[in-house]
């Protein structure tokens, strides 16, 4: 079943039109009035998986206030006005259905931004961390603003019951959000973070795709006889949708080029144009009574325009913003679904490598400065936390080895611990100073490097033993370290500590040799 749902998810660009076509035929041949009862459960199927894979904690990471602020200003000032004026100019016929379609376009305009933002941003090699924040902020702000905006702008066109809209949003947004976050917590506790991310979490987004396809089927089947009697309606609806997305892409491309770097600009573009059609469709189908079906027709057709336009935009993203500076691992094409909140899922099972915690082992050398670039690049690419660890050699061990005398026998445990504490304190001070210098240099080349002073670990002991132990007990997914290149053969090639960690650790180790 998962394979079939994944196939639907990866091919929404045509499975949605096919579903709408079947809905049209089914609704014309049969009485579909009883299908209205399926709207609520199908909508939950569509929205809940999105919430299960939502990265709420990522909102508190990074330093991109300017990017997030400008994105949300565009989302909640320019885009609603754009949708309103396009609807006013292009959907102004005397028939009430024109006004209802304008309401549908406006709902699209006030409900950013979908999980598809994350998928397409990752595919275009933009900043996925920034995209995740845009999804969370857009979801919360849009859910609160939609009833107010709709009442103010569209109240003259249709009777807007704000309280009823708030209730519907609570049912279709905040209830699934709470249940989804509880599911995340339970899943990570039961299966472990790694197993949850690699094996369990990727199974949820395909169910969202199923919900999208079913809701499109319902929307078309319930309006089928009217559509067949008035086929020109489809073309009337598609034109303002094309204009809406075209103007949005052009504006955002110019803003991104002039105000942000490549990665942030891409995140901003998809953080705005990928509207939350799933929530808009749910509200249309449940908050406006019989008129909601007419509104839902335009939103259903928006899926086709939104997915196709995103696919074409990605093809030309390097022309508009330039090629990415850092080569990244090739990712499969993102699941073209409104509700995919997880990383791009092109394979299933353990084939996917999910890196969430990186341990960067440093000895404060120039070689380590070279290795930190890999830690930041990989951490940024996978939205992973990067911790820096420095192991201070046991001072008595060092002296004993150099003097050829076992000094441990000459000093009691308390004296030894005190001596090591002094060395650890000095090492921490040096680490913080070096981190400040390194961070400034690295951040200029790698924006949003997930390495910070509050993720520094300093301990004393044998470097090989301590690095391996910390990586194992801290559930790290990858160790990154540099190498001096000295010693006998293998040690000469890798460095004694790097060689030892590679031999002892059960966790993958990336050794960065200086260029």
Kindly indicate the confidence band of residue 252, based on its pLDDT and cuts at 50, 70 and 90.
Answer: very high
Residue, of 408 and 43, whose pLDDT is higher: 43
Kindly indicate the confidence band of residue 251, based on its pLDDT and cuts at 50, 70 and 90.
Answer: very high
pLDDT of residue 176: 82
Long-range contacts of 309-314 (CB under 8 A, 24+ apart): 309/245, 309/246, 309/249, 309/273, 310/116, 310/120, 310/270, 310/273, 310/274, 310/336, 311/13, 311/336, 313/124, 313/249, 313/269, 313/273, 314/120, 314/123, 314/124
Give the least confident one: 11-20, 325-334, 475-484: 325-334
Is 351's pLDDT higher than 50?
A: no
Kindly indicate the confidence band of residue 85, based on its pLDDT and cuts at 50, 70 and 90.
Answer: very high
Phi-psi domain of 461 (left: phi exceeds 0; alpha: psi -120 through 50; beta: other) = left
Sheet holding 478-482, edge to edge: 451-460, 385-392, 357-361, 478-482, 509-512
Helices and strands (H, E) in the chain, number of each type: 24, 5
Distance of alpha carbon 127 from alpha carbon 319, whole angstroms:
18
Of all residues in the chain, the percent with pLDDT exceeding 70 is: 75
Helices (H), 288-365: 291-315, 317-321
Spell out the domains of the chain, with CATH numbers in brackets: 2-347 (1.20.1530.20), 355-512 (3.40.50.620)
Is 340's pLDDT higher than 60?
A: no
Kindly indicate the confidence band of residue 431, based on its pLDDT and cuts at 50, 70 and 90.
Answer: low
Mean pLDDT of 340-368: 59
pLDDT of residue 58: 62
* DSSP H or E stretch at residue 359: strand 357-361
Give the least confident one: 222-226, 258-262, 452-456, 492-496: 492-496
**Contact call for residues 218 and 38 (beta carbons, < 8 A):** yes
- In DSSP terms, 509 is beta-bridged to 479
Is 341's pLDDT higher than 70?
A: no
Other CB atoms within 10 A of residue 33 CB:
9
Kindly indicate the confidence band of residue 219, based on its pLDDT and cuts at 50, 70 and 90.
Answer: confident
Is 152's pLDDT higher than 50?
A: yes
Residue 222 vs residues 28, 39, 148, 191: alpha-carbon distances, Å: 9, 11, 28, 42
Distance of alpha carbon 409 from alpha carbon 172, whole angstroms:
69
Of all residues in the chain, the percent with pLDDT exceeding 90 is: 15
pTM above 0.75, yes or no: no
pLDDT of residue 406: 47
Is 425's pLDDT higher than 60?
A: yes
Is 407's pLDDT higher than 50?
A: no
- Mean pLDDT, the chain, as a whole number? 77
> Which of 5, 1, 98, 12 is CA-nearest to residue 277?
12
Residue, of 242 and 54, whose pLDDT is higher: 242
Structure tokens at 75: 């989302």
């Amino acid at each position: 079943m998962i394979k079939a749902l994944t196939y639907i998810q990866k091919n929404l660009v045509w499975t949605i039109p096919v579903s709408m076509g079947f809905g049209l035929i089914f609704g014309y041949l049969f009485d579909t009035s009883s299908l209205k009862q399926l709207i609520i459960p199908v909508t939950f199927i569509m929205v809940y998986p999105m919430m299960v894979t939502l990265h709420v904690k990522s909102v508190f990471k990074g330093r991109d206030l300017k990017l997030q602020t400008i994105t949300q200003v565009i989302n909640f000032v320019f885009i609603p006005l754009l949708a309103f004026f396009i609807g006013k100019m292009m959907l102004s016929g005397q028939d009430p259905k024109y006004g209802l379609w304008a309401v549908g376009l406006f709902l699209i305009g006030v409900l950013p931004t979908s999980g598809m933002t994350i998928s397409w941003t990752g595919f275009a090699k933009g900043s996925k961390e920034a995209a995740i924040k845009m999804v969370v902020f857009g979801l919360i702000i849009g859910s609160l603003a939609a009833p107010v905006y709709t009442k103010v702008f569209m109240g003259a066109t249709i009777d807007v019951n704000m309280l009823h809209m708030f209730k519907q949003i609570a049912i279709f947004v905040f209830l699934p959000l709470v249940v989804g976050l509880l599911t995340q917590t339970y899943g990570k506790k039961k299966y472990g973070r790694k197993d949850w991310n690699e094996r369990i979490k990727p199974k949820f987004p395909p169910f969202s795709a199923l919900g999208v396809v079913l809701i499109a089927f319902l929307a078309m089947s319930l309006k089928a006889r009217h559509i067949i009697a008035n086929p020109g309606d489809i073309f009337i609806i598609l034109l303002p949708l094309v204009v809406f997305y075209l103007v949005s892409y052009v504006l955002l491309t110019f803003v991104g080029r002039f105000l942000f770097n490549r990665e942030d600009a891409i995140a901003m573009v998809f953080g705005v144009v990928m509207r939350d059609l799933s929530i808009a469709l749910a509200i249309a189908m449940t908050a406006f009574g019989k008129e909601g079906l007419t509104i839902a027709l335009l939103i259903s057709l928006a899926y086709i325009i939104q997915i196709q336009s995103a696919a074409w935009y990605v093809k030309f993203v390097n022309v508009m913003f330039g090629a990415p500076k850092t080569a990244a691992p090739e990712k499969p094409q993102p699941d073209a679904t409104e509700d995919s909140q997880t990383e791009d899922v092109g394979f299933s099972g353990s084939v996917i490598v999910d890196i969430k915690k990186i341990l960067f082992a440093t000895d404060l050398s120039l070689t380590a400065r070279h290795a930190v670039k890999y830690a930041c690049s990989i951490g940024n690419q996978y939205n992973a936390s990067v911790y820096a660890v420095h192991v201070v050699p046991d001072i008595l061990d060092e002296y004993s080895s150099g003097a050829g005398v076992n000094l441990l026998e000459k000093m009691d445990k308390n004296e030894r611990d005190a001596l090591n504490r002094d060395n650890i304190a000095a090492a921490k001070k040096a680490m913080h100073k070096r981190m400040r210098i390194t961070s400034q240099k690295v951040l200029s080349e790698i924006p949003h490097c997930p390495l910070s002073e509050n993720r520094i670990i300093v301990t004393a002991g044998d470097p090989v033993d301590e690095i391996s132990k910390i990586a194992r007990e801290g559930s790290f997914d990858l160790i990154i370290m540099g190498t001096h290149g000295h010693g006998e053969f293998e040690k000469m090639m890798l460095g004694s500590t790097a060689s030892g960690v590679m031999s002892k650790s059960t966790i993958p180790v990336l050794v960065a040799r200086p260029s």
